[in-house]
Structure 1
Amino acid sequence: MFEKSYVKDISYRTFDKRAIYYSKEYVERDRYEVMKNFIDRDNLALFSLKRMRKDNPLKVFLSKAITDKSYISSLDNGYTFPLYLYPDENTQTNLLESKDEDKPTRTPNLDHQIVADIAKAIDLTFTNEKEATAGTFAPIDILDYIYAVLHSPTYCETYKEFLKIDFPRVPYPSDADTFWQLVALGSDLRQIHLLESPKLAVQVKALSVGYPINGDNCVTRKMTKTSIGFEPNEADNSIGKVWLNDTQYFTNVPLVAWEFYIGGYQPAQKWLKDRRDRTLDHHDIKHYMNIIASLSLTNELMQQIDNINVTG
């Protein structure tokens, strides 16, 4: 019997959230021990590949939901690292510690010794939840710091060979100033990748990304040499049109966004390929423009991160 309560969000591919009927009866490898921390929970995860067959050191992304193992690569299994762990419902610890029945106590999914070492290095006090108190830092700050470092072109080049064979390893912050600079940039990246940032609308406008032609909005292009997706402008080949079909297209799409890799995918291309022969609605068109804005902003932020020494 169909149970509506089993229908949950899943981070299926980059910038592509879908629905899953999350029941052991239908999902053979549900990885419930990890994914339970996202079911009707406020959480965030760093998603990473260990080994990747493509020669691309940028092999991380973020998720706020149940996550598919092929989230950023169809060739390589990925791993989901929740920022927080939630207790099983109705446990004695949960009942004793939770002050709000609707908000069970959660604990940071972080190594205590590593956190203590970071706190000592930057002379700040760690708190389990983000506070406005001066001199403190929280799990979200550590995640944002890590996320910024992993998007540093210098870091990716320096550890290129190691990143091909193992999980990325992150150097400790050297001081509080450097830590907070990277936290700020990592926070920007996080919000941009989750499509939650107000900067996306600003970037769409700044790039003048448009969708000028009316039509059926059906994606029929195959994104091949004979059925192209991207057509560079004659006057400026750094931007171009992205064609849905023979008459409709997005304008002023940066080539860097079109070609940008996250893991094994080029999201600006992958998202459209996965919708071939489908009709896009208004929400889909706006969503795609935000993907373009997100990828172009990512490229800009990576250059800003590279102005900070993250490798020591």
Structure 2
Amino acid sequence: MTNAEQRKKQVESFIDTDAKKISWSGELKEDCGKLIIHTFNPDEVFQGIYRPFCKQNYYYNKDLNNRLYQMPKIFPNQNVENLAICVTGVGVVKDFSALIVNTIPDLCIQGAATAGQCFPLYTYEKQSDLGELFAINNTEKYTKKENIPNTILKDFQKKYQDKTINKEDIFYYIYGVLHFPEYKQRFAADLKKMLPHIPYTKDFWKFSKAGKELAYWHLNYETIELYELEEFKKDLFLNDEDYRVEKMTFGKNKNGIDKTIIIYNSKLT
């Protein structure tokens, strides 16, 4: 048995594999075997989005978070501003969907096994890794770069004969198209097999303005005035514990799923 194999065996016999305490990745086990110490840094606790409209604290640390992928280039820290459109992954079972975020999303933000992909408005590079070339704005130690190339901007301006169109307008146009029911229905088969392709529509501004307004509500849903509901708590004999969410699902009728009904838990529908 090699030293590495022996060390691995010792680690496996030593660690507590209770996932509620810590989820041991292969890299973390190797660090344990090498007696590498990781220190918790409260400044690396971010607010991310676990599922649509469901925020959750997230420890943004490459040592204790196994796979950060390209997130450090999209949301390098909490002080930079960015937007990203998250779409369901290729080949997943669930229907295609898109959601805009302004903070770190979970890999499967649209649901389990969706393995999504994000398309940001900007990307950030550390200035130590990238010089000032092509930079449009410096934010602390990062250089912000526009993610939509100038060639795409020129194509849209030429197509619609409108020089006032800018890259942010195109970003919201894309979001509007991705939510258009006819688009999702017509290209449903393609969206299962590949990432979305964005067509030109007859009216650019109609989709861009709709996408921008939709993005506003998807990002600022917590600021919306609550809809007043009349509760019959005494008649239902409910206490505070009865309002705990178990797993919200749509109801069913004779034709299948009924999206006018939401089952909150076993006591509330």
TM bucket normalised to smaller: 0.5 to 0.7
Aligned mates of 1:23, 1:55 — CA distance in 2: 30
In structure 2, stretches of 5+ residues that fail to align are 1-38
Q: What SS does the aligned partner of 1:27 have? A: coil
Q: Who is 2:200 aligned against? A: 172
Aligned mates of 1:101, 1:148 — CA distance in 2: 29
Q: What SS does the aligned partner of 1:148 have? A: helix
The one-letter code matched in structure 1 to 2:174 is I
Q: What SS does the aligned partner of 2:74 have? A: coil
Q: Report the CA distance shift for 1:155/1:2 in structure 2 as closer, same or farther (over 3 A).
A: same
Q: If you compute each CA radius of gyration, which structure gives the higher value, 1 or 2?
A: 2
Q: Who is 1:20 aligned against? A: 58
The one-letter code matched in structure 2 to 1:191 is Y
1:158 to 183, 186, 209: 186
Q: Who is 2:211 aligned against? A: 186
Q: Who is 2:169 aligned against? A: 141
Q: Who is 2:21 aligned against? A: none
Aligned mates of 1:145, 1:139 — CA distance in 2: 10
Aligned mates of 1:70, 1:216 — CA distance in 2: 30
Q: Report the CA distance shift for 1:187/1:209 in structure 2 as closer, same or farther (over 3 A).
A: farther
The one-letter code matched in structure 2 to 1:188 is E
Aligned mates of 2:210, 2:61 — CA distance in 1: 38
Aligned mates of 2:155, 2:64 — CA distance in 1: 44
- Cα deviations by residue, 1:186-206 (Å, 9 ceiling, x for unpaired): 1121112223486x43xx54x
Aligned mates of 2:150, 2:104 — CA distance in 1: 26
Q: TM-score, normalised by structure 2?
A: 0.68
CA contact (8 A) 2:135 2:144 kept: no
1:51 to 75, 80, 90: 90
The one-letter code matched in structure 2 to 1:74 is A
1:117 to 147, 155, 165: 155
- Cα deviations by residue, 1:194-219 (Å, 9 ceiling, x for unpaired): 23486x43xx54xx545553721445
- Cα deviations by residue, 1:141-169 (Å, 9 ceiling, x for unpaired): 11211111111111112112111111111
Q: Who is 1:265 aligned against? A: none
Aligned mates of 2:204, 2:141 — CA distance in 1: 30
Write out aligned runs for 1:272-291 (5 A). Answer: none
1:216 aligns with 2:240: yes
Aligned mates of 1:159, 1:166 — CA distance in 2: 10
2:81 to 42, 46, 62: 42
CA contact (8 A) 2:124 2:145 kept: yes
In structure 1, stretches of 5+ residues that fail to align are 126-135, 251-312
1:85 aligns with 2:113: no
Aligned mates of 1:239, 1:159 — CA distance in 2: 26
CA contact (8 A) 1:37 1:82 kept: yes
The CA RMSD over aligned residues, in Å, is 3.5
Q: TM-score, normalised by structure 1?
A: 0.60
Tell me how far 1:54 sits from its aligned partner: 2.7
Aligned mates of 1:238, 1:70 — CA distance in 2: 22
The one-letter code matched in structure 1 to 2:240 is D
Aligned length: 221
